[in-house]
Amino acid sequence: MHFLITAYDGKDSEAAARRNLVREQHLAGVKMRIKKRKHLYAAAILDDSGNSDPS
């Protein structure tokens, strides 16, 4: 079964700190799923200026 997850960053002042706090765990999980062939693709959602805030 395939599915798509779309997740946006928070817009509050602590959003970047929360994201950075779990970044290494997140990337380790991605690497594990890639090795198991359970993770096909990932990408950031950026605006026209290259910022991660899509609004």
* 53 pLDDT higher than 90: no
Helix (H/G/I), strand (E/B), else coil: 27:
helix
Supply the pTM of this predicted model.
0.68
Dihedral sign computed on CA atoms, order 29, 49, 7, 20:
positive
Average pLDDT value for residue range 27-46: 90
Taking only the tens place, the pLDDT of each residue in 6-15 is 988 888 899 8
Q: In the block, which residue shows the tokens 């359970």?
A: 38
Which whole-number Å values give the CA distances from 36 to 5, 25, 28, 29, 43, in the listed order? 18, 17, 13, 11, 19
Q: In the block, which residue shows the tokens 């799923």?
A: 33
